A and B are shown apart, each in its own frame.
Chain A
């Protein structure tokens, strides 16, 4: 049966909202099965109705099926730690905690690199990082388990009863948000202009021995990197334009993203390496920035890590989604 655009969107939103509450292992198959059932129900009861009636009919079927959390719960075992009703909420909190821990760990790693960059210290850091993630995740699961056990989420249950199809969230993954793409293009164009024209006029001011000193372009070894950065940013602009044109994120989109993130990561890693060897910003042959001004030295590390870490995360998510679009995951 052919669905009109509005019905198709409503059905997609319902399936996505249900699927995100299901365990990853069977998510795709269960989602396919639910979709197939809804289409069967629609076909059975409302075949041949005009477009408007089709959307209305679908809305009624979804209302009859109920809140996606209710559907998701029926596929879960009787005993679980975090239920489908509160799982999206749990996921949001975990994302915030994950981000905070990552920032703290990045700062700590930066301090380790600047103080004693040896293998043992970095190995110990990796152990601490892993522990932090495992312990914080365990504590969060335990808190949610206790709260759910003692029915603290009763208001969620009331919401579940009152659910209607218009409460479905918008689709996020896979569908292109044109506003975001245009904002990225504008941001990249501005970055290209600033780095290629105005950067030479910028100076970094700091207080040294009680008086103001400055780092101008001739001390700034960032300049040789600018052609590479400009090349990457132009590729990124082409990528954003093609994403707008195709309208949906496909396998090729994720491959292009992986390539761009990789290029960014390699550039940031080279810059980080140069900075660790005092070659990024050099005062003269005998003085290094770290000995002159440790604060600026640390800020430069933060800046470079702030570029490197999200790009590495981008590569990982890009690989994940590209495998997903190929049905490997």
Chain B
């Protein structure tokens, strides 16, 4: 029983690590137009990307600190401040490079997994 539990744990950990690798790319792909955190979260979930808010928000913050995206607070309905994020020049470059890397990896993996 314990061995089974351990196996499941290892599977989950590996799945998480695999997902983590492409989350940045998934997020960058949706930031060509301005998005606030929750709208982005919903959009990614609608596309089937399994990402929790406690993963997304710190990730956005890190990308912002690295200068890959721009952020701006906007007050809506006079009382609701929301932080909007959008790709900047550097971010677009990063997105292009990661996307090309992703497709290269797919090609390699398709051959490997045949």
Q: Chain A contacts of B80 at CB under 8 A?
A: 1, 36, 39
B81 near A41 with CB under 8 A, answer no
Q: Chain B contacts of A70 at CB under 8 A?
A: 54
Given contacts A33-B83, A36-B83, contact A41 B58 (CB under 8 A): no
B interface list, Cβ under 8 A from A: 36-39, 41-42, 53-55, 57-58, 61, 73, 80-83
Q: Chain B contacts of A71 at CB under 8 A?
A: 54
The complex places the Cα of A26 from the Cα of B38 at a distance, in Å, of 19
B57 near A37 with CB under 8 A, answer yes
A75 near B61 with CB under 8 A, answer yes
Q: Chain B contacts of A30 at CB under 8 A?
A: 57, 61
Q: Chain A contacts of B39 at CB under 8 A?
A: 40
* Beta-carbon nearest neighbor of A72 in chain B: B54
The complex places the Cα of A34 from the Cα of B58 at a distance, in Å, of 11
Instruction: Name 28 interchain pairs, CB-CB below 8 A, sorted by A.
Output: A29-B83, A32-B81, A32-B83, A33-B83, A36-B37, A36-B38, A36-B81, A36-B83, A37-B37, A37-B41, A37-B53, A37-B57, A39-B80, A40-B38, A40-B82, A41-B38, A44-B38, A44-B42, A65-B54, A66-B54, A70-B54, A71-B54, A74-B55, A74-B57, A74-B58, A75-B57, A75-B58, A75-B61
- Closest chain A CB from B56 CB (angstroms): 9
Q: Which of A34, A36, A41, A65 gathers the greatest number of chain B CB atoms within 10 Å?
A: A36
Q: Knowing that A1-B80, A36-B80 are A-B contacts, what are 6 other residue pairs whose CB atoms are under 8 Å apart, sorted by A's residue number? A: A30-B61, A36-B37, A36-B38, A37-B38, A40-B39, A66-B54
* Beta-carbon nearest neighbor of B77 in chain A: A1
Q: Chain B contacts of A32 at CB under 8 A?
A: 73, 81, 83
- Closest chain A CB from B63 CB (angstroms): 14
The complex places the Cα of A74 from the Cα of B73 at a distance, in Å, of 21
